[in-house]
């Protein structure tokens, strides 16, 4: 990846990096993908179960069952994070447990727990979204861009 960067380095460093890379343990990308697929799929399966439960036993439609399902999943994540289980799942599953909404919940909750020792305002308050903040910022920003594009396309009569 760092071919561009490497050019600026002295040859000694370039040689060393090549030497080092030969011995570096690589991330098992394919295995990680399979693990992520299975665990991520399992989390979504649980989500589907919860969603179906809400449709059958409460006054929710497929449309409106999404919100309570998300809330329930985040609640479960909160318990798992607090008991120190979620980080172990994360080490095993990688993206599988980071991409679903549970990963977002874990990022917020773990930060909140971590910074409790610095107090509730400057600790928990200001650090809670330290990891999850970028998700919100770029989520809102990309939603804005997509909405802008759609508005323009409609205005020009493309769609």
Partner 1 sequence: MLSGHQTWIFENKPTIISTGVVGGPFEAKGNIPKDFDILHEDMWLKQDSFEKAQQMLMEESCQIALKKSNIEKEQVQFFISGDLINQITPTSFAAKTIGIPYLGIFSACATSAESLALSAYLINSGGAEYILSGTSSHNATAEKQFRYPTEYGGQKPPTSQWTVTGAGCALIAKEGGGPVVTSATIGKIIDMGITDPFNMGGAMAAAAVNTIETHFKERNVDPSYYDLIVTGDLGHIGREVSLDLLKQRGLNIKDAQYVDCGLTIYREGQPVMAGASGPACSAVVTYGHFLNKLKRGEIKRMLLVATGSLHSPLSIQQKDPIPCIAHAVSIESGSDGL
Partner 2 sequence: MTIKKWLFLIGLLCILSSCGNESALEPSNKANEKLDLTHISTKNNDTSQHPANQAKDALSKYKEITEVKAVNTTKQLIIAVQVEQNKRFNLTSIRKQLQKEMKKKFPDHKVELTTDKKIVIELKKLEEKLQSESISKKKVEKRVKEIIKLSKEQT
47 neighbors 100 (Cβ within 8 angstroms): yes
74 neighbors 102 (Cβ within 8 angstroms): yes
Q: Which does 153 bind (CB under 5 to 8 A by kind): partner 2, partner 1, none?
A: none
Could you tell me if residue 81 is left (phi over 0), alpha (psi between -120 and 50 degrees) or otherwise beta? alpha
70 versus 96: smaller Cβ distance to partner 1: 96
User: Considering only 10-18, 43-51, 55-63, 148-156, which stretch makes contact with partner 1 by CB under 8 A?
Assistant: 10-18
Tell me if 62 contacts partner 2 by CB under 8 A: yes
Tell me if 7 contacts partner 1 by CB under 8 A: no
Alpha carbon 126 to its chain centroid, in Å, reads 20
Q: Which does 113 bind (CB under 5 to 8 A by kind): partner 1, partner 2, none?
A: partner 1
Count, residues near partner 2 per rule CB under 8 A: 12
117 neighbors 60 (Cβ within 8 angstroms): no
Q: 63: which 2 tokens?
A: 């449309």
Tell me if 64 contacts partner 2 by CB under 8 A: yes
Q: How far is the CB of 152 from partner 1 (least distance, A)?
A: 36
Write the DSSP symbol of residue 129. T
Q: Which does 84 bind (CB under 5 to 8 A by kind): partner 2, partner 1, none?
A: partner 1
24 versus 61: smaller Cβ distance to partner 1: 24
Q: Which does 151 bind (CB under 5 to 8 A by kind): partner 2, partner 1, none?
A: none
Q: b/e map of 41-66 (b: 16 or more CB within 10 Å)?
A: eebbebbeebbeebeeeeebeeeebe
26 versus 155: smaller Cβ distance to partner 1: 26
């Amino acid at each position: 990846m760092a071919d561009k960067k490497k050019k600026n380095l002295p040859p000694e460093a370039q040689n060393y990096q090549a030497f080092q890379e030969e011995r570096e343990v690589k991330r098992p990308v394919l295995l990680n993908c399979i693990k992520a697929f299975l665990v991520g799929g399992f989390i979504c399966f649980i989500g589907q179960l919860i969603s179906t439960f809400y449709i059958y036993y409460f006054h929710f439609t497929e449309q409106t069952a999404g919100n309570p399902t998300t809330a329930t999943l985040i609640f479960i994540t909160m318990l798992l994070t607090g008991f120190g289980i979620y980080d172990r799942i994360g080490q095993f599953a990688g993206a599988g447990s980071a991409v679903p909404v549970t990963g977002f919940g874990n990022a917020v909750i773990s930060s909140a727990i971590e910074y409790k020792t610095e107090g509730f305002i400057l600790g928990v308050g200001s650090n809670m979204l330290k990891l999850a903040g970028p998700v919100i910022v770029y989520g809102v920003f990309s939603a804005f861009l997509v909405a802008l594009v759609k508005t323009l396309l409609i205005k020009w009569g493309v769609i």
